Amino acid sequence: MNLAANKKVYNYVTLAYWVFMFADGALRMLVLLHFHMIGFGAIQIAFLFSLYEVAGVITNLTAGWIGSRFGLSSILYTGIVIQILTISLLSQFGEVSTEVLYLIQIMILQGASGIAKDLVKVSAKSSIKFLSPNQPSKLFKWVSYLTGSKNVIKGLGFFFGALSLGFLTFETILIILVILLIFTLLLTFKSVFFSLSKRKKNIKFSEVFSRNKSINILSLARVFLFGARDTWFVVAVPLYFYSVGIENFFSIDQSGFLFVGGFMALWVIFYGVFQTTAPLIFQTFLNDESYIKKAAFKWSMLAFPIPLILSCVLFLNPNAGIWVISWIILGLFGFGFIFAMNSALHSYLVLALSFNEEAPLDVGFYYMSNSVGRLIGTLLSGILYQLGGVSLCLLITSLMLIGSSLIVRKLSKA
């Protein structure tokens, strides 16, 4: 295909990815707030999301191999179909019970949703390697745009999920998401399916484990980077803001939902916007691979002081007032900017350092590491919040960021 045709396919892939991530963001916020409202504790909610991340680990490890063998379009649309079925089943559960069996059922559906999300993500990210022009600046621009815009859209999904829960039933919102996904599948299928169906039949399953030293280093750093973020992001801060809001600022649940959903949405949108601008910051040096590797270390080192300071603020001010909450919000947005630069550099490097034919395998292995980090962060978010509140979560976040920095420093020596 020529560049114009590739660009068209890229746009349709991006659209499918956007809609999927909007639904994924809405579903995450719905599950978090809905099950908190019916009495699930922080650790129980963390377990609800844990199988989602476990499924992501397994899926990312195998999705690259499946995509290489059967075509990237096959895993893209398999993921969308699985998500449609998952949300449809979740909408049919009826009356809520907090019994163990019900918890297990929700965990299984969350696991299926995790499989769907990572099939779609590996397909979308890998397709850039094949569709983008063979120029470092263009590659960085395309991957940053896809990743950043995805997070903006996912942030809107967070906001939609939280806001709609105050006005519609849990089941009604899920049905709306199903209709949206079906429409997207029908709209994009014809243009994308046959364009990304290239296969490599002789590929061995053992090749899912990357043999690229640089990819392995980057993947380990990713474990700590996203584990650090999700240690405060998944359970701790949303539940903390909801409880503080209801106790001090709001009298009704809808306002609490809006506060939590608004913060989560704006943070992810803010983070996504700065991901898309990363090529403007680094474009002068994109042909200098050693500089980009060093930049990944330097930006990583900038991240850890912020959660450490916020942890101290919360520890010294256990009775949260408007000024404390304001400082926490501002601090987390500052962290979001630095985190966006780190994520953009990592996302570019995994494609730049992979070989063209092995891109789906390297991307799958890399995002498998991402899922390992998210799993660790998700479990820590619930457990640490129960043990020591957000202050303890942010302290561990800072320590994990130091670990990520020390690992990514080795990249310049690889």
If you average pLDDT over residues 118-124, what whole number do you get?
88
17 within 8 A of 126, measured Cβ to Cβ: no
What is the Cα–Cα distance from 13 to 193, expressed in whole angstroms? 10
pLDDT higher for 152 or 71?
A: 152
Structural domain boundaries in the chain: 3-190+207-413
Lowest mean pLDDT among 57-66, 234-243, 282-291, 346-355: 282-291
Unique residue bearing structure tokens 């979560």: 393
288 within 8 A of 345, measured Cβ to Cβ: no
Q: % helix / strand / coil in the chain, to the nearest 5?
A: 85, 0, 15
User: Beta-carbon neighbour count of residue 357 at 10 Å?
Assistant: 13
**Model confidence pLDDT, tens digit, residues 143-157:** 888 888 988 999 999
Residue 251 pLDDT exceeds 70: no
If you average pLDDT over residues 94-101, what whole number do you get?
59
Residue 60 tokens, joined: 């990312």
If you average pLDDT over residues 121-134, what whole number do you get?
80
User: Measured in whole angstroms, how far is the alpha carbon of residue 229 from the centre of its chain?
Assistant: 10
The pLDDT of residue 306: 96
What is the Cα–Cα distance from 276 to 268, expressed in whole angstroms? 12
Residue 106 pLDDT exceeds 90: no
What is the Cα–Cα distance from 121 to 74, expressed in whole angstroms? 12
The pLDDT of residue 133: 73
The pLDDT of residue 8: 86
148 within 8 A of 340, measured Cβ to Cβ: yes
The pLDDT of residue 23: 95
Q: Which long-range contacts does 379-382 make (Cβ < 8 Å, 24+ apart)?
A: 379/46, 379/47, 379/50, 380/227, 380/230, 380/231, 381/42, 381/46, 381/230, 381/231, 381/232, 381/233, 381/234, 381/235, 381/236, 382/42, 382/43, 382/44, 382/45, 382/46, 382/47, 382/234, 382/235, 382/236
Residue 383 pLDDT exceeds 70: yes
The pLDDT of residue 314: 92
pLDDT higher for 33 or 401?
A: 401
If you average pLDDT over residues 290-318, what whole number do you get?
90
Q: May I ask the CATH class of domain 3-190+207-413?
A: mainly alpha
